[in-house]
Amino acid sequence: MRHVVLIQANDVKKFNYCKFGNYKSTKGKNIVLIDPNGDVVSGYEMHQPVLSLDINDEDDRRIYEFLKDHPLIKGKFTINDMRATEEKNAELSLLKAEAITTASAIEDRDLKDFAMLMGIDSSLDNKLIKAKIIQFSNDNPTKFLETASDADKMHRIFLKKALAKKALTKVNGVWKHNSMSIGLTDDAAIVWLKDNGDMYAILKNQVRGNAPVQREEPVVAAVENDNIMSSSTISALENDAKEKGWFTKKSNPQR
């Protein structure tokens, strides 16, 4: 099977001829070109701006090994390994196919969450969001697949929602809950959420729009001031009663 390598002049229009003479390597070793008969020749002459070599062929490979590190190559010629390029393109195509398949399988209820992770406007309708996610997966398949397979993606989504709802804040890059710092990075904030399950549950409830649970205070019944008599009033009533003999003990009549 052929393994084609192209050596191409960077300025094709100006190229006319180039002689690659024998040279010394960066380590001082003499690099010489040997012809098919085993004889040393003075170098390689290139008459076209593009040279195609099959490095699976013994003679072509000898020329390639001679030219690939030649001082004249650097800055003036480009070496393009066609098989390596084809293999890379094939791998990229397979990666894109996997990413697009994964994106297409996202259920409607999860679209807005994925949109938040990828910086897509989550206020759009689901059809537009899905189209943009699929486009993203095609343009950035590696990043998309990493995001989709992230074990902490739900925590990352929550951080974005909590920030939008002001349940959490981010000051100078530091995540905070009220005045308490909970992480210098998203990963550190996620660790805090995992370690503080009760608080995480309260925050999730708050992000959903439910009012935070309030602590009940004892209710004290109010007493009308109008029904309260002053001590001076009570004393006056007692004196009046004594004068009228209400509290005087009557003696029993003698027999």
* Tens digit of each residue's pLDDT (9 = 90 or more) over 75-123: 999 999 999 999 999 999 999 999 999 999 999 999 999 999 999 999 9
Kindly state the tokens that stand for 104: 């297409």
* Tens digit of each residue's pLDDT (9 = 90 or more) over 37-78: 999 999 999 999 999 999 999 999 999 999 999 999 999 999
Mean pLDDT score, 23-48: 95
The CATH code of domain 154-207 reads 3.30.250.10
**189/153 Cα distance (integer angstroms):** 13
Look at residue 1 in the predicted model and tell me its pLDDT: 83
Look at residue 220 in the predicted model and tell me its pLDDT: 45
Contact 73, 67 (CB under 8 A): yes
Residue 34: band (very low, low, confident or very high) from pLDDT cuts 50, 70, 90: very high
Residue type, position 30, single letter:
N
Residue 219: band (very low, low, confident or very high) from pLDDT cuts 50, 70, 90: very low
**Strand partners for 50:** 8
* Tens digit of each residue's pLDDT (9 = 90 or more) over 225-246: 445 455 555 565 566 555 555 5
Q: Which SS3 state, helix, strand or coil, does residue 1 take?
A: coil
Look at residue 244 in the predicted model and tell me its pLDDT: 52
- pLDDT over 90 percentage in the chain: 79
Buried-state track 114-137, b at ≥16 Cβ within 10 A, e below 16: bbbbbebebeeeeeebbebbbebb
Going from N- to C-terminal start, the domains of the chain cover: 4-75, 89-149, 154-207
